[in-house]
Structure 1
Amino acid sequence: MVKQITLYTRQSCPLCDEMRLMLELLKEDFPLAIEEVDIEIDDDIHEKYMLMIPVVEYKNQIIQYGNADYVGLYEALDEHV
């Protein structure tokens, strides 16, 4: 079963780039479909996440934000099998 992930990002965000790479690595362990959302295109989303990005959401729950943590992401996705 493919896990639908939403990644909230913005342009010129090194932490977002790192999180994107981490999610790509996780594709080796989990079937992931990643939808990337630029927070700057929607005022409500921007206000909600501007201090948290990057934000990874799975099943409408934030599973990680800020610095990428491979183990934390892996465990969050693994417990939702």
Structure 2
Amino acid sequence: MQKVIYYTKEICSLCEEAKALLIMFQQKYPFELEERDIYTNDAWLEKYQLLIPFVQINETTLNCEQLNMESLEHALAKHIDKV
């Protein structure tokens, strides 16, 4: 099963909205969601602190400025077959 990596942190309304979109799209595009809290890893914190929520699907990435319903579905459709 394809994996989607989702970088987040606690108390982040944008992150909560992004996670809701990801969960919604799991009904249409089956994938494993790996959630990574940037405060549990110094490298993630340094790399993603200004970009979260940040989603990675294979080589495709979406940061907080790029992440919306349309861009996320386009990225998922590119890498994951619909149910």
Whether TM-score is above 0.5 comes out as yes
Specify the SS of the correspondent of 1:79. helix
Amino acid at match of 1:26: F
Runs (4+) of structure 1 exceeding 6 A deviation are none
**Structure 2: runs of 5+ lacking an equivalent:** none
**What amino acid does structure 2 have at the position aligned with 1:51?**
L
User: Percent identity, aligned pairs only?
Assistant: 30
Q: Distance in 2 between matches of 1:22 and 1:54?
A: 12
Compute the displacement of 1:32 (Å). Answer: 1.5
Residues 1-81 of structure 1: matches in 2 within 5 Å? Answer: 2-62=1-61, 64-66=62-64, 68-81=67-80
Q: Runs of 5+ in structure 1 lacking a partner?
A: none
Contact 1:3-1:30 within 8 A present in 2 as well: no
Q: How many residue pairs are counted as aligned between the two chains?
A: 79
Which structure has more strand as a fraction of its residues?
1
* 8 Å contact kept, 2:52–2:63: yes
How large is the Cα RMSD of the aligned pairs?
1.4
Where 2:79 maps in the other structure, the secondary structure is: coil
* Letter in structure 1 aligned against 2:49: M
Amino acid at match of 2:18: M
TM norm structure 2: 0.86
* Aligned-partner Cα distance in 2 for 1:73–1:11: 21
Whole-angstrom CA distance in 2 between matches of 1:11 and 1:76: 25
